[in-house]
Structure 1
């Protein structure tokens, strides 16, 4: 029996149907990615599954006794609760009592002690101490300090606390809505690892293609109110989807041709006043109704970038430049960099390392506190803000874009504002709707429409990929590659960086700025790592010396960079074969999982195969890390 069943769900807002008798099932151990265009209703579907939204029709069924949990899309604002209070809040009454017990235990007055005893008695009656142990165990496993307040944590650590809250109840089904938004790459990598180890079923919405490739065992697409399942990995889904669209277009073309022939026949029958075949007339009426009910697939975004006059060959030059709000904590120091016309630069770094500050420094919005920065000539900059602050939520899309204009000049062509918005998939009706009712993806498209409606030869994009559907994202990549001017982009989307940028600039958080040729993967191949990754690695090796390690005080005067021992050399030689063997096993398992009939088999075998894939992937990750460590030692 399926763990989760959606049966004939229907939901419409006004005349716009989001769900039209949509159905799907999900089994234990599956990690299902829900894809679809912006505005199709993916987030709404998750809210229906979680019980937040009641559909117009249809049923959501969870297996008897199954527990469902949700990782929220938005992070809390100004939340002063401790991590312990947030996680324990997953157990409504008991969580409140545990939080109250923690608060009272830090007070010493008599009144507090009396209240503490009452709380303790109630906790014992509810078996609250076993839940307290579960909360503290998961916080320890995720390296979260229980007394740390949420408003002092970065977005990545807040997401970690919220995931701990979602998983502390041991759920059977976990719902995730754009979990990687606003997370830096190390936080995304940590999230991937934590979710791969989760044994329950996951239904998630994401447009991060690298995340989907790592996570999804099956893809379900929400398309024109229907849920279509593809029992395949993400890359295989792309192939199957393209073939399905081609077949749909072929069938529609045949139907339309036949309908046209029948319409011609009925008109000829009237003209000649001949007796008509009433069966054929009824069939024609049925065909007309079928064509009327057909929901055509929406158009594809087709925007272009408004080019300004070319800037000078030199865009910006920095020599020994730096910036600091506090002299003892420089954000950028000793930076030497030259940006030329046509460069596509990606800024990479953990959250809080100063990427936005660096952009403002390079574009002259901030004066350097050390060194010099020289700007080129004829710079016209267009800026994409990740917070969408340039949008007035109370005004509609038309007013946000037009700013009093009826026509817009795009590369010498005059376009009506409504026509221009249609290139970004806004119908005239939607263009007149207030921005406050737009989805995150629609707001991102409107921001792009505003950005590209103004002449520019320097584009600055701060997290442009958040909320964009894959089709729009791929078109944006193509336009940025074609753009003759300069592009500076801040992004944690690994695939987007690989597809767009020619140079990667890395900020390590200490003020150092280093430049590498190529995209994100090229930076990784050149030895690029994040400080938090090194910290995690050092924490894993701080558990004390192993049998192959000498304690530091026993090394005497040995050189720390001594060559590998014979045993380690032998291990280093054998590791590539072991890694290759594991990669072969993973490939075989992924092929089996990608088979269309995989999930119709024995549930125990399905669970065992998925668990084996996860375990093998973990073994591969461990061997890869060990190989990198030994290679580093050998090169010293």
Structure 2
């Protein structure tokens, strides 16, 4: 199958910050490629370059689509005084132009031109375009929004959903979508997944939603360290290949260690054969006297070869694979009423949170969900303040005092930090104020992993992390033996969570 879009040797920087380096990859017609990676890794930059919004510093971006290219950024990008209808017309501009051209050709009785325009118009589903707008707005929860409404009267979420509805209604051959699941509830996400599955063209989508990627993507493009790696087989194929790569790494590390051991043993044994003072067997005396010089020279040569091999092995080591993430704790019953870790009674935090009664025991697992502004983060902070035990807390927003490096901020040594796999050696000397959002979250997670906790309080723990790290984090939480309270919008984490669930609405527990 031919290539529909490709990047060759693409490099992109902003000032002195290098985002993407010598990227080369392609997407075939009809593929649905999911772009994944940590915040700040360059996913949105990559999508903008494919859309032609940004230009690469070096390299070539080639896109071929007779049916058009549609790009959805994370903002609508239209003036606030425009109406919903104007937003729809802007999205359908190419179809409107074809329609106007058909009308002019008909009036001029130019049948050849009319036929060509009609073919293009029908191929793009021009006659059903306005109907698709209505279907998309209904599917994305915008049926209540009238076409005469001005955009400034819509919430940010409504504007984002409107932009998505308009783009899907335009139905260009290539869809470029940046985090389209943001601001969508469960029914809207299901509708979007079905709609993209039916799309006849190509889809390239940036997303952190694992369920969405599993249902939609046929290939995964992972952006990491300025480079990109392609994984076939959708999201499940991505996970399988990641696991296989980890096993190969562990095997290579074990093989490297074993070879060093064998070379050392060989060198020591061989050297012992010509060691001074070594006893000589009587029945070998004549041969030894006759060949001593040659034997010693041969053995010494083999020793030098072994030592050279050992030097090369140590100069080019296989890096130690990171240890699986593990939250630590003794998990003994904590002093207090029947081992209670936290007890909230008649708690009121201004107008943001009202809790009549909430008790957390040593092994309790609690998932808190609710709309934005419902009081979830306030509840976590209240639990942290009231905890009677060693409570580890990962907030949504992480900040560190300036003037310290990553290693100076971490409570243990460099070896322990590197063993987590959360940072590379060159990042340990970075000032914490220079860290990206994702790196700050990694450091906060590393600090949490370094301590012993009876209770973990995690506020949106999957935010800003790579999907591979999110999968590791989930496994660590599954094996954690202490109490756990999690706030998350992550659909996969919520579906896999084992424990009690509570919902907050307007600061009240439902």
TM range (shorter): 0.5 to 0.7
In the aligned structure 1, how far is the partner of 2:390 from the partner of 2:196?
Answer: 44
TM-score of the superposed pair, with normalisation by structure 1: 0.53
Q: Give the greater-gyration-radius structure (CA).
A: 2
Residues 2, 63 of structure 1: 8 Å contact kept: no
Alpha-carbon distance, 1:27 to partner: 1.0
Residue 625 of structure 1 corresponds to none
- Alignment correspondent of 1:22: 24
Separation of aligned partners in 1, 2:210 and 2:430: 30
Cα distance 1:217–1:398, how it changes in 2: closer, same or farther (>3 A)? same
Q: Distance in 1 between matches of 2:323 and 2:150?
A: 43
Q: Does 1:355 find its partner at 2:386?
A: no
Superposed CA deviations along residues 486-525 of structure 1, whole A, max 9, x for unmatched, are: 2211112232234444111134x477645xxxxxxxxxxx
Mapping for residues 219-298 of structure 1, pairs under 5 Å: 219-222=220-223, 227-243=228-244, 246=247
Give 5+ residue unaligned stretches, structure 2: 97-126, 267-295, 299-311
Q: Structure 1, residues 30-60: CA drift from partner, whole Å, max 9, x if none?
A: 3222345677644443233223444454422
Asked if 1:504 is matched to 2:501, the reply is yes
Q: Which whole-Å CA distance do the structure 2 matches of 1:152 and 1:306 have between them? A: 49
Q: 1:240 to 1:166 in 2, by over 3 A?
A: same
1:472 Cα deviation after fit: 1.5
Rounded to whole Å, the distance in 2 between the matches of 1:171 and 1:436 is 42
**Conserved 8 A contact 1:174-1:201:** yes
Contact 1:139 1:146 in 2 (8 A): no
Tell me, in whole angstroms, the C-alpha distance in 2 between the residues paired with 1:241 and 1:67. Answer: 34
Contact 2:2–2:28 (8 Å) recurs in 1: yes
* TM-aligned CA distance change 1:152 to 1:353, over 3 Å: farther
CA contact (8 A) 1:379 1:457 kept: yes
Partner Cα distance (1:396, 1:6) in 2: 43
CA-to-aligned-CA distance 1:232-273 (integer Å, 9 cap, x gap): 243244334544665687789999979x99xx9xxxxxx989
Q: Equivalent residues in 2 for 1:326-365 (5 A)?
A: 336-360=357-381, 362=383
Rounded Cα–Cα distance in structure 2 between residues aligned with 1:245 and 1:166: 39
- 231-240 or 470-479: bigger deviation: 231-240
Closer/same/farther in 2, CA of residues 24 and 379 from structure 1, 3 Å limit: same
Shift of 1:465: 0.8
Which residue does the alignment assign to 2:172? 171
**RMSD of Structure 2 on Structure 1 (CA):** 5.2
Q: How does 1:124-139 map to 2 (within 5 A)?
A: 137=134
1:6, 1:75 → 2: CA distance? 26
Q: Which residue of 2 aligns with 1:444?
A: 441
Q: Specify the SS of the correspondent of 1:449.
A: helix
Partner of 2:5: 5
- Are the equivalent residues in 2 in contact too, given 1:311–1:341 (CA < 8 A)? no
Using the alignment, how far apart are the partners of 2:445 and 2:343 within structure 1? 28
Which residue among 395, 398, 407 is the counterpart of 2:405? 398
Q: Contact between 1:183 and 1:492, CA under 8 Å: does it hold in 2?
A: no
Equivalent positions of 1:66-81 (< 5 A) are: 66-73=67-74
- Tell whether the 8 Å contact from 1:184 to 1:351 is kept in structure 2 after alignment: no
- CA 1:502/1:164 → structure 2, altered by over 3 Å: closer, same or farther? same
Distance 1:361 1:442, change over 3 A: closer
Give the drift of 1:15.
11
The answer for the alignment partner of 2:123 in structure 1 is none
Question: Aligned equivalents of 1:134 and 1:481: distance in 2?
Answer: 46
1:477 aligns with 2:484: no
TM-score, normalised by the number of residues in structure 2? 0.64
Change (3 A) 1:138 1:79: farther
User: Cα offset for 1:209?
Assistant: 2.1
Supply the distance in 1 between the matched residues of 2:152 and 2:323 (Cα, whole angstroms): 38
Asked whether 1:385 is paired with 2:417, we answer: no
1:301 and 1:472 in contact (8 A); partners too = no
Measure the CA separation in 2 of the matches of 1:417 and 1:248. Answer: 21
Q: Per-residue CA shift, 1:562-612, capped at 9, x if unaligned?
A: xxxxxxxxxxxxxxxxxxxxxxxxxxxxxxxxxxxxxxxxxxxxxxxxxxx
In the alignment of these two chains, the number of paired residues is 426
Tell me which residue corresponds to 1:48. Answer: 49
How far apart are residue 347 of structure 1 and its match? 1.0
Distance 1:420 1:77 in 2: 46
Written as runs of structure 1 = structure 2, the 5 A alignment for 1:557-636 is: none
SS of residue paired to 1:351:
coil
Q: Counterpart of 1:460?
A: 457
The whole-number CA distance in structure 2 between the counterparts of 1:464 and 1:402 is 23
Residue 471 of structure 1 aligns to a residue in which SS? helix
Distance 2:17 2:357 in 1: 57
- Whether 2:314 is the aligned partner of 1:314: answer no
Provide the secondary structure at the position in 1 that maps to 2:46. helix
The whole-number CA distance in structure 2 between the counterparts of 1:482 and 1:2 is: 46
**Cα offset, 1:459, TM superposition:** 2.5
What does 1:105-124 correspond to in 2, within 5 Å? none
What do the CA deviations read for 1:302-360 (whole angstroms, capped 9, x no partner)?
555464994642134456x575967xxx9757x55432122121112333444334445
Distance 1:396 1:132 in 2: 57
Pairwise CA distance, 1:426:
2.2
- Cα distance change of structure 1 residues 183 and 137 upon mapping to structure 2, 3 Å threshold: closer
